[in-house]
Amino acid sequence: MQPFEFPGQTNFYKGKVRDVYTIDDRLLVMIASNRISAFDVILPKPIPNKGQVLNQVAAYMLNVTKDICNNWLLATPAPNVSAGKKCDPFKVEMVVRGNLTGHAWRTYQSGKQILCVVKMPEGLKENDYFPEPIITPSTKAAEGHDEDISKEEIIERNIVSKDDYEQLEKYTLQLFARGKELAAKRGLILVDTKYEFGKLGDEIILIDEIHTPDSSRYFYADGFDERQTKGEKQKQLSKEFVREWLIENNFMGKEGQQVPEMSDEWISIIRNRYIELYERLIGEKFLPEDLSSEQTKNCILDALDRLEKK
């Protein structure tokens, strides 16, 4: 799909998953595409309705956490579109982990117990809980791979000021606690996630998506302890199963590696997993809405007109 052009448009950015339009240097319009990425690489085939799932989960979660931290969202004019305040983003992602899994487990399994200068306890098994959630930030790369970075280095390099970073940590842990509480009500465990923040004037604002299957990992709570005791693989709802499939097929986004073929059956499985997480997490049946480009653009124009009048 060709990029739109909107009145007052001052910038356009095509991300791995989202197309982002800047309006009058004051508003952002984010269109969540059906593109899917893993290991910072866009996979060759889209996943139907994925953008709608991401956008609607993110909007729901932003609305139920705004008492903790003000966020950027002002409107959701179409199923896969959000519009809101343009902020000056911090160039770090606040990654928070409640369990030893994913990247943290791969690091731990390699014999390293330190991640972003955070010491991980000895004697843990894959997916075990940490005594307390840990924050392991990463750089926010415009292109290529994000990289682990320590709190100390962030402050030393003045990527984020000391005072601001300490506030980001507080918000991160409070948001994670709320996310775990919401997930627990639906029989899920929020395992790890990431948050992004920006500034609007002197105020720290929560931006981008939160608690979606692209930014977060969820386990089923039912049977979790038993599976841990038996050393069995945890049943999960997240994008991790896509990463695992890629790893099994010798792809981790490294130079010279080839993305494996994505069959129609595999695409359908991924789509169904996204929808399952939506329905489980939100507690409502997912209703696919496939708007044409023209319909989407008209919805956005109407929303921008309303926001400009505010």
In a shared domain, residues 235 and 99: yes
Of 188, 170, 208, the closest CA to residue 57 belongs to 208
Query: In this structure, what token pair is assigned to residue 3?
Result: 């990029």
Q: pLDDT > 90: what percent of the chain?
A: 85
In a shared domain, residues 74 and 26: yes
On whether the CB atoms of residues 130 and 173 are closer than 8 A, the answer is no
In a shared domain, residues 162 and 286: no
In a shared domain, residues 123 and 213: yes
Domain boundary (192, 220, 242) is at 242
On whether the CB atoms of residues 183 and 218 are closer than 8 A, the answer is yes
Domain boundary (185, 218, 242) is at 242
Q: Binning pLDDT at 50, 70 and 90, where does residue 128 land? A: very high
In a shared domain, residues 81 and 98: no
Residue 1 has pLDDT above 70, yes or no: no
In a shared domain, residues 155 and 100: yes
On whether the CB atoms of residues 271 and 65 are closer than 8 A, the answer is no
Residue 142 has pLDDT above 90, yes or no: no
Q: Binning pLDDT at 50, 70 and 90, where does residue 99 land? A: very high
- Residues 51-55: what's their mean pLDDT? 96
In a shared domain, residues 106 and 225: yes
pLDDT digits (tens, 9 = 90+) for 244-298: 899 999 998 888 899 999 999 999 999 999 999 999 999 999 999 999 999 999 9
The CATH number for 18's domain is: 3.30.200.20
Supply the pLDDT for residue 279.
Answer: 96
Number of structural domains the chain divides into: 2
The CATH number for 198's domain is: 3.30.470.20
Which of these ranges, 96-110, 143-157, 248-262, has the smallest mean pLDDT? Answer: 143-157
Query: Is 272 a member of any domain?
Result: no
Query: Is 49 a member of any domain?
Result: yes
Residue 209 has pLDDT above 80, yes or no: yes
Supply the pLDDT for residue 145.
Answer: 57
Domain boundary (222, 242, 262) is at 242
In a shared domain, residues 225 and 115: yes
In a shared domain, residues 45 and 99: no
In a shared domain, residues 54 and 13: yes
Q: Binning pLDDT at 50, 70 and 90, where does residue 157 land? A: very high
Of 177, 98, 183, the closest CA to residue 132 belongs to 98
On whether the CB atoms of residues 182 and 22 are closer than 8 A, the answer is no
What rounded mean pLDDT belongs to the chain? 93
Residue 262, CB half-sphere, CA atoms under 13 Å: how many?
20
* Residues spanned by the domain of 97: 90-242
- Residues 146-170: what's their mean pLDDT? 95
In a shared domain, residues 103 and 61: no
On whether the CB atoms of residues 150 and 141 are closer than 8 A, the answer is no
Residue identified by tokens 């991300």 is 15
On whether the CB atoms of residues 99 and 108 are closer than 8 A, the answer is no
Q: How many residues does the chain have?
A: 310
Query: Is 267 a member of any domain?
Result: no
In a shared domain, residues 132 and 48: no
Query: Is 261 a member of any domain?
Result: no
